[in-house]
Structures are given as C-alpha cells and as structure tokens.
Structure 1
Amino acid sequence: MFVPARHFLLILILFTLSAPVLGQTPPAVIGSRAEVTTWSDPLDALGTLRADESVTLSATVTDIVTEITFQDGEQVERDQLLVRLDDSEEQAQLRSAEAISDERRNALDRSTQLQARNLAARADVEDFQAQLRQAEADIQALQARLANYQIRAPFSGRVGFRNISEGTLVTPGLALVTLDKLDIMKLDFSVPESYLGRLSTGLSLSATTAAYPDDVFSGQITSIGTRIDPISRSVDLRAELENADGRLRPGMLMEVIVQQRVRQAVVLPEAALEPSGDQHYVMVIDQRDDAPRLERREVAIGERRYGDVEILEGVAEDELVVVHGLQLARDGLEVRLLGIVDDETGIRALLEANR
C-alpha cells in the first residue's frame, strides 16, 4: 500500500516522541542544588597599592658615613640603627660639657655645705645652681645633636636598596634608604560618584594582580574621600589588604571588585539557565517519585558572578536543577540522574565515573 510522504513523516515524528514510552533509556543528566549564600553586586575598579607606612630616610647634617648596619631588602625593627655618621667632634664636645657639669656640681655641693654652716651666702648657692642647670642644658643639647648622626628606623619595616657606602659625604636632604611597612597594604582607587550612596566603610572587596593571577586578595574599605573630582566625577576610596607573606609591593596595579548590597540570595550555576528571548528557564528535577522527572520553570534572575547567577524567583533553596544534559531535557521527561555537582565534585568527574 502506498503511503504519502507527509503521512510517513508524521508517523516518524510520533514514533520519535513516543520512544521513551517504548522502552528507550531515559536521557542522563547531572544536577546541582540551589544554595542560599552571601551575594553582592560587584563594582569594578583599578587601584594602586601603597605601603601602610613609607618613608625615605635622609640626613639632617653634613658629614661622612662611618657605619652601615643593614643589607638591601632586610627586615628591620623600630629604632634599629641603620646609618651612623662621623660624630667624633660632637662626642668630644659632649665629654667637655659633662666635665663642666661635674665641676659645677662639686662647686654647688661645697657651697651648700658652707652655707649650711653660715660660711657662705645664699646667693652664691643659687648662682652655682643656675650654672649647673646651664651645664646640664648644654649636655642635653649636645645629645640631641648627636641623635642627628644616627639614622634609625622610625618603624618596623623592610628597607630598599642602599645607594651609599662608608666614607660617603652626605648632606641634608640626601636620600639614604627607603623604608616600607608591608604587613598591611593600602589600596587606593576611585569609582564614579553615582555609586557614592552605595558605599560605606567596612565594605568587603577582592583584588587581583597580574603578578599573581591565580590568587585573590581580600580587604575592606577603610575610608572614603571627602571630595568629588570635578573633572572625572569620581570619588577616591582607600582599602586595606593583609600582606603577611610580603608578596604585595607598593606601586602594584590591582583589579578591584567591591562587594555592594551584601545580601542572602538563592544561587545556581549559569549552566542551568535556558534563555528564551527575555525569559530564562531551568529544568527542575522532581525526585518525589521513584523515577526522576523534569519540570520546566521560568525564573527571574539578578546579578551574575564567576559562572553563578542570582535567582530572584522560581527556584527555592535545596531544589535540584539540571546543569548538564539540557539539550535532551524536556518538560515532564523521565531522566537518569548521574550525580550532583558540589564544591568537591565537578561535571567532568561525574561523567568519567559513569562511563
């Protein structure tokens, strides 16, 4: 009997749609559970690192370097001696001042003893007291001047390259060595003024740098600028990053992501979404019966981040959705669940385990 081509095509389509009913193996899928996690709207910016404390040490007097006590890049402690200048002349003046002080102290003692026996005038004792105070003031002045011949670290940190040697004649203002406190880094960046209302101190952020592309550094905003730049219409912000291992260095360029509007949200992998025009759908795996079946649902999505998507409506916490095998998934179709992805098990591992 002759069958028209259009009837034959209709029969073929009906046979294909009824294949699962006729005993075909249900398609295999991999699922992922909807999780409620901390979520935020990312704000991207570029920033520059600065040391928590930074100074270029220089001399305040003109003299010759007699001692250098540090090596390039060495970690030094607060008040540690770094450079000593020739202070032999000032040391001699100090010894002379101390001798004069001792002499005047002895004169005062003798005068005090005589005055106690009414053998000296009270005015003489007062004169000797004034002379002793003058000698002690001279000693303090010389000690203060001697401090200028010793360059010490004002805080604990790491020194840079030294560009001087013993015997170098230094003058006031000549840079001797840099000192940076690197255990905490300051990250300066700017964002458009339109975001000012969403920002506050304490907001978390993450930062990456080309020097360590696989690492993410976390920190918090510590201060917000008091002025808006009238040209760029941006506001400056400063954050602090922990740098206990010392890998971050001043001057590094960093890509910054500020976490705004921190909230709890239902999150799914982006691979679970089926876009259709302006709508988005997911395939929910219904496990209430012995045979898992699919239910197609429309969802409202929020922000996307790192392969995940925020679900505003349509899926509840802990529901199971398809993230692999969507090309064969249909509403109401019975499926074979190969496994559920999580932080420790990915899609590749589940596929290899079910070969």
Structure 2
Amino acid sequence: MILSPLHSFLRRRWPALLLGLLLALPVSAQERTAVIGARATLTDWSDPLEALGTLAAEESVTLSATVTETIAELAFEGGERVEAGQVLVRLDDREERADLRAAEARRDERRSAVTRLAQLQERNLAPRAEAEDSRAQLRQAQAEVEALEARLTDYRIRAPFAGVVGFRRVSVGTLVTPGMELATLDKLDRMKLDFRVPEVELGSLAPGMRLSAESAAFPGSRFRGEVAAIGSRVDPVSRSVPVRALLPNPEQRLRPGMLMEVTLQRRPRQALVIPESALIPEGERHFVLVIHEGDDGRIERRRVRLGERRPGEAEVLEGLAPGDLVVSHGVERTRDGARVRLLGVADETTSIREILEAGRGRGGA
C-alpha cells in the first residue's frame, strides 16, 4: 500500500498532535486542564567529561625470528584465536638437529668412558686424574647438548599468550632474518583505552572512576569500563594529561586502533531528577508546577534550584522531595492555584504515547 505524504506525516506526528488537541480543549469542555505529570525520582547521576580515545590490546606483540633460516611450516592463516605456547611458525632445523644428534652421541660416548674408568678405579687399575678428566669431558658434552637444544627452540615460534593472530606476511620457503615481522598477536579479552583530558580536570580524576565509550562502528552500543591509571606528566604544549582505562571485551567486537568517544562519570551520586520539560525558566530562576494529589489536583508554583543537566533531565538541589508530582506536559495551560485533570504519569514503564492513547480511548475529555 502506498501512503500519501499527508498520511505519512500524520502517522509520524499524531501523538504530538493529539496532545496538542487535548490540551487545547476549552476548560468548559473538559472541566479542567488536562496535563501529564512526572515524579521527582532519585536516580544514579554523574557529571560527564567527554574525550576522544584510541584503543589498544591489553597485550600485543609482533612475532619475529631470531635466526636466519627458511620457513618450513606455517600453522596459522590469520584472524584465528590461538592458545599460549601454540607453535605458529616452524623454521627449517634439519642441520641443527643433525648437530644435536652428533652432540648426543659424543655425550653418550663420554658417559660410557666415565663408567669404564669408574669401574677400573674401583680396582685401582686407572689413575684418579684420568677419571676426573673423563667426567669433565662428559659435563662439557652435556653442556653442548643443552646449548643445541636451547638453540632449536629458536626454530619454533610460539604464541607467548592466548590471543588473536593477525594476517601472516610470509609463506613457506621464505628466508627470514632476525627481527623480520612474521605476524602480530593481540590479546583482545580486555582493551586499553588511552585518551587525554584537560589539566584543569586533573583534580576530579582517580583510578577506578567509571566511564562509557562509544564507537561509530557500533551505533547505539555503549562499552563500559574504568580508569586504570593517570599519567605522571602534563603535556606543557596541550596542557592535558594522559589517562588509560580498561574496557572488558568478552565478545571481542573492539579492535586495536579504533577511535572511541569517551564519557567519564565524575562525582557519581544519587540525584533528585525531573524532566526538563517541567521547568519554567524566568531569567536565572527556575520554577515547577507541583500537583497536590491529596488536594484535588491543586497546582502550586514552586521555585527550585538546579544542579547539572543532561539531555531531557535536570538535577534538582532544592525545592522538591522524592515522589513529588510535577506537571511535565501542559505547563503553559495552567497556573498557580488552579486544579488540573491528570491524564497520567510518565515514567520508565509508561510512555507519553501510552498515556495519550489511553486518554483518546476515554474520549479525550
């Protein structure tokens, strides 16, 4: 079915239009002004501080060789998760293994010589010096075997920790040299988020402070973490201090290098909050219309002192108590001392749209 432009407009805007019609009805038609209320509630609150940060893996390493040799085997393709100690690259070690076998043979020969001399010495048929010299040669042969075994470990490049391996940059048969990059390995279960805040905010920062972060890659998703460390120096040019936070990343959606919009939650507290739509500004002063439910819906115009604000909400420092009911929609249609008809109370479980639909079902008057 194809909707006309007027039909589409009305479909999108009908809740607001219906509210206007209900509030615009003459008092004689509806007896009292219809309003929607909201309660002053205690809510978790904090003063936001925004910054831009860059992600890094909690642990990150570039895998490289320490010897010059050709690659004999690659045990990864890139992008997969590997476990700590898993062999990722095997270099050609045939020559080193041959040297090891030769060293082991010399060690076994020296061990047999030591055994024979020990037996002869027990019968006083071999000089003591010759036996000691044979034992020294055995220790030397054993040390040579251990050195070759240690050198062979350089021909196996293993994952130093569990993580996600990056794309491989070499192929089987490639001649690698010490320091040559073969792949990257990142531990992504938890991410480091580095950002900077102005020097003047240094006094409000502390390890353990909670924060949230958003990325353009995941619209609508918030990643929460906490401050892990605060830099020891202030940049004399930008007058900012570096901060590092840790973000859990169990689903591994975040990646190193991503840009994040950070919001620090300073001074976390319980605050008395009302909708901004309930405020009546007059210069630097602010008022609200309190509905006295026990006095037949009488309106009291009351001055309030505000604290911080965030989109759609305001913190009330003085003038209201938890549970007080204020007019949130229809403020301009009533006044101090008047009596109103409450259409409903908007909160987390009841939306304005639901209140309007219920009012329409009752005839709107």
Q: Which letter does structure 2 place at the counterpart of 1:70? A: F
Q: Which residue in the other structure is 2:185 paired with?
A: 179
Q: Which letter does structure 1 place at the counterpart of 2:180? A: L
Displacement, 1:125?
2.4
Identity %: 60
**Structure 1 residue aligned with 2:307, among 302, 307, 310?**
302
Q: Which residue in the other structure is 1:342 paired with?
A: 347
Q: Which residue in the other structure is 1:258 paired with?
A: 264
Structure with more helix by fraction? 2
**RMSD, aligned α-carbons:** 1.6
Q: Which letter does structure 2 place at the counterpart of 1:341? A: A
Displacement, 1:20?
8.8
Structure 1, 334-343 or 62-71: larger mean CA deviation: 334-343
Alignment of 1:143-158 (within 5 A): 143-158=149-164
Q: Is the CA contact (8 Å cut-off) linking 2:64 and 2:182 kept in structure 1? A: yes
Q: Is the CA contact (8 Å cut-off) linking 1:35 and 1:317 kept in structure 2? A: yes
C-alpha distance in 1, partners of 2:348/2:112?
83
Indicate yes or no: 2:104 matched with 1:73: no
C-alpha distance in 2, partners of 1:200/1:84?
46
C-alpha distance in 2, partners of 1:296/1:163?
72
Q: Which residue in the other structure is 1:270 paired with?
A: 276
Q: Which letter does structure 1 place at the counterpart of 2:304? A: V
Indicate yes or no: 2:56 matched with 1:50: yes
Structure 1, 31-40 or 187-196: larger mean CA deviation: 31-40
Q: Is the CA contact (8 Å cut-off) linking 2:27 and 2:33 kept in structure 1? A: no
Q: Is the CA contact (8 Å cut-off) linking 1:224 and 1:237 kept in structure 2? A: yes
Q: Which residue in the other structure is 1:13 paired with?
A: none
Structure 1, 312-321 or 28-37: larger mean CA deviation: 28-37
Q: Which residue in the other structure is 1:230 paired with?
A: 236
Query: SS of the counterpart of 2:233?
Result: strand
Displacement, 1:344?
2.5
C-alpha distance in 2, partners of 1:334/1:318?
19
Q: Is the CA contact (8 Å cut-off) linking 1:324 and 1:347 kept in structure 2? A: no
**Structure 2 residue aligned with 1:248, among 241, 251, 254?**
254
Displacement, 1:273?
1.4
Q: Which letter does structure 1 place at the counterpart of 2:342? A: L
Indicate yes or no: 2:141 matched with 1:135: yes
Q: Which letter does structure 1 place at the counterpart of 2:236? A: P
Displacement, 1:329?
2.5
Displacement, 1:165?
1.0
Structure 1, 40-49 or 123-132: larger mean CA deviation: 123-132
Segments of 5+ residues of structure 2 without an aligned counterpart are 1-24, 361-365
Runs (4+) of structure 1 exceeding 4 A deviation are 19-24
Q: Which letter does structure 2 place at the counterpart of 1:319? A: D
**Structure 2 residue aligned with 1:319, among 314, 320, 324?**
324
C-alpha distance in 2, partners of 1:73/1:23?
69
Q: Per the alignment, do residues 292 and 106 of structure 1 end up closer, same or farther by CA in structure 2, a change over 3 Å counting?
A: same
Q: Per the alignment, do residues 158 and 145 of structure 1 end up closer, same or farther by CA in structure 2, a change over 3 Å counting?
A: same
Displacement, 1:158?
0.4
Displacement, 1:21?
8.7
Q: Per the alignment, do residues 353 and 122 of structure 1 end up closer, same or farther by CA in structure 2, a change over 3 Å counting?
A: farther
Indicate yes or no: 2:290 matched with 1:284: yes
Q: Is the CA contact (8 Å cut-off) linking 2:307 and 2:317 kept in structure 1? A: yes
Structure 1, 147-156 or 35-44: larger mean CA deviation: 35-44
TM-score, normalization by structure 2? 0.88
C-alpha distance in 2, partners of 1:343/1:118?
99
Indicate yes or no: 2:115 matched with 1:114: no
Displacement, 1:22?
6.5
C-alpha distance in 1, partners of 2:80/2:27?
76
1:62-86 Cα shifts (integer Å, max 9, x gaps) = 1111101112200011111001110
Q: Which letter does structure 1 place at the counterpart of 2:345? A: I
Segments of 5+ residues of structure 1 without an aligned counterpart are 1-18
TM-score, normalization by structure 1? 0.91
Q: Which residue in the other structure is 1:10 paired with?
A: none
